[in-house]
Structure 1
Amino acid sequence: MVLFAVIDIVGNIPIVIDLRKKAGHIQSEKAAIIAGVILIVFLFLGKSILNLIGIDVNSFAVAGAFILFFIALEMILGITLYKQDENASMTTAVFPLAFPLIAGPGSLTTLLSLRAEFSTENIIVAVLMNVVIIYIVLKTSSKIERFLGANGINIVRKVFGVILLAIAVKLFAHNIKALFDIA
């Protein structure tokens, strides 16, 4: 449940709809699988990878907070900061959908925290369950969009943009405090 709350795929539906509009199509299977692989690899190798390249978890989370901040600004202000590449569907499956939206700094740092409290097998089951939910939400995003309508999507986009902005600020504040050991 902790991982589900941090990933917040339901809250990211407006972002998914925006990305689908920009890219034309989102490869739901690829995005869910890539996010799941990133999460599981990070579960086992995350701290080592970050240490190898000289980055601590807090610095990683601060960088991710900036990305989330800019995505939230796009949602709230209706501006485009993220430019689409030629290979749009593959790029959208990986960035910003699989990383940092689904397998982002919040979920990756949460995995490191969960490792201290739960067995690895339980965490892997939680990741796999979340990947299935992610796939279902991604696959049904066009139906959700039709259900809510244009005005509903705009309202949800702005509300969740503010929520995403708050998450980015919280992630930034918590980790910048830890970086500088501010009491």
Structure 2
Amino acid sequence: MNDDTRDNKASIRQARQDDAAGIANVHVRSWQTTYAGIMAPLFLRSLSITQRQEAWAANLNAAEEGRYVLVLEQEETIVGFVSAGANRQTVSHPRYDAEFYALYLLQSAQGQGYGRELLRRMAACLQRDGYQSAMVEALKENPAIQFYRHLGAEPLAERTIKVGGTLHKEVTLGWQDLSMLV
């Protein structure tokens, strides 16, 4: 994917290996703001950009065909990202062939249409690889649930998971037709 979505403020492009630190920063900082008041403050403070950077470096290094990471940059700084690929939950959700693994934006980049554009661009990548439908999972308390619903995602399931030593409800939503996002 080229760096061809550019306006005065931002650009979206395919992630490179040297983006791991920027992606990790967004990942940790967005958790700390999104889940403040939802998750234990001690747990949120314990999140490590260094550990996430190592994980993202490995993830970007092991990138495979049909699996994508796109980054959103403002003034050459990564302020958001989306990752997606094959559905990892095929047993519980076999009707959905793709999955949005993560969509995170720094608080300063939220509410400006960038999340929608990241999803749109990622849906186009997935469709080019032959994927037809996609699902996403998010904690029920996450405001992104309403964002996904607004973009046409339908609730599929809910389960209890443990994050940071605390039980939380996780919601699975899906788009039966990726063209709804493109």
Shared fold (TM-score, shorter chain, > 0.5): no
Structure of higher RCO (CA pairs closer than 8 Å, 6+ residues apart): 1
Q: Which structure features the higher share of strand residues?
A: 2
Q: Which structure features the higher share of helix residues?
A: 1
